[in-house]
């Protein structure tokens, strides 16, 4: 499966040409968490001075928060995510990484974790 990722720029000086598209292939049975971990280990998401860059990964919905000071991405869902719930197109799976500057990653996680994209009515 082809994965297409894009990300925000972090600074006007040397990182201004967003969306910084990157493509790579993974096996079709690869879990979303594994893909996020892979991207977080590349040099694709820039580090910042002070060591506290915060990113969120999205693909049709928020997926995880990635922090420069954390060893691994922190998923926003404990249940497995179906590809049908993501930005899956005929030519691959699309993900975007939003830059949240040096905002405390726990705050970003808490905000995104409480975010509701659909109205759920109960009887």
Per residue in 3-45, pLDDT (tens digit) is: 999 999 887 666 777 789 999 999 988 899 999 999 999 989 9
- Please say if the pLDDT value at position 75 is more than 70: yes
- Please say if the pLDDT value at position 118 is more than 80: no
State pTM to two decimals.
0.89
Quick one: CA torsion of 112, 66, 3, 18, rounded to 10 degrees?
90
Per residue in 39-70, pLDDT (tens digit) is: 999 989 988 888 899 999 999 999 999 999 99
- Please say if the pLDDT value at position 123 is more than 70: no
CA 123 to chain centre: 34
């Amino acid at each position: 499966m082809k994965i297409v990722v894009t990300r925000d720029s972090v600074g006007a000086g040397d990182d201004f040409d967003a969306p910084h598209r990157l493509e790579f292939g993974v096996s079709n049975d690869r879990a979303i968490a594994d893909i996020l971990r892979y991207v977080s280990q590349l040099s694709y998401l820039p580090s910042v001075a002070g060591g506290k860059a915060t990113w969120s990964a999205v693909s049709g919905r928020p997926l995880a928060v990635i922090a420069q000071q954390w060893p691994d991405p922190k998923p926003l869902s404990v249940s497995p995510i179906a590809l049908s719930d993501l930005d899956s197109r005929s030519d691959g799976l699309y993900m975007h990484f939003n830059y949240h500057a040096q905002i405390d990653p726990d705050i970003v996680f808490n905000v995104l974790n409480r975010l509701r994209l659909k109205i759920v009515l109960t009887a």
